Amino acid sequence: MVNENEMIEWAKKHFAEMSVGGIWMPEGSGLTYQKLEEKKWRLVRRIDNEQTLSNHDKMKVLMFDAGFMVDDKDAEVIPEPRSMEEAQIQELQMKREIAQTWADTDGTLLIDMDLENVWAEYIEDKEVMLDDGETTSVEIWAYRPTNPNTGEVVSIDPDDYHMLMGDQYFMRFKSIVPSVAGTDYHVYSALSRQDMVEFIDAGGQGEGIGSKLGDTIDGKVPPWMWGTYCAVDSRNSLKDSVKEEEE
């Protein structure tokens, strides 16, 4: 069990490491905080119930003991969710707000790294230990945008990319196919059930996606795309480059 001194030491390290402007939402607390200065935070919002008030009082004490001040005068009080579904939606919205503040070490926001044009990349297979002591192989994937201000490549976990960009960009992938003219590639975009009906009714021909693609160079498919039905767009990188130059 963590004692009070260990908790204070954890808080000092955790709060100091967060960037100014960063958002923090302690899991299950109903509270959202923002770091204003190196030693000052503010309560951004809280859910309207007694439990969040109690949570905030405890958090203020912890922050004070760790050497940080908290301003809670202008906090937004939002209605308590009426259902589990509403609570989940509310929490997701808050987490997406937090994701918009994520930044590289130089302060450049991840959201400003042209993430619309970044695709999932297979990194490696990794052996992981299961609860029963057995091991299994897991595919490691990442999104690797370039920081426009430093030129450094940043690695973003797929779940974090999903939080940043939503389903539209997360539920798609690109596979390179053999070609003699430039580099051909296919873009696979997952369709929802309703989108699938409209797509097929309009004469579209998509493809059900398994764990690999036989007609591509590496055959790799991101695991979160397995079992989806996708619209397929064939493209050529050489033509894309000429089009961009013309524009």
Each residue of 168-218: pLDDT tens digit?
999 999 988 776 565 688 899 999 999 999 999 999 889 999 998 877 767
Report the percentage of the chain scoring pLDDT > 90: 43
Q: What is the pLDDT of residue 131?
A: 66
Q: Residue type for 232, please? A: V
Please enumerate in sequence order all residues whose Cβ is within 8 A of that of 65, keeping only pairs 6 or more positions apart, or say none. 8, 11
Residue 126: phi, psi to the nearest 5?
-130, 135
Q: What is the pLDDT of residue 240?
A: 53
The domain limits of the chain are 4-101, 105-168, 171-247
Each residue of 47-58: pLDDT tens digit?
889 999 999 999
Contact 145, 108 (CB under 8 A): no
Residues in the chain where the model's pLDDT stays below 50: 238, 241-247
Contact 55, 30 (CB under 8 A): yes
State how far the Cα of 15 lies from the Cα of 3, in Å rounded to an integer.
Answer: 18
Q: What is the pLDDT of residue 130?
A: 67
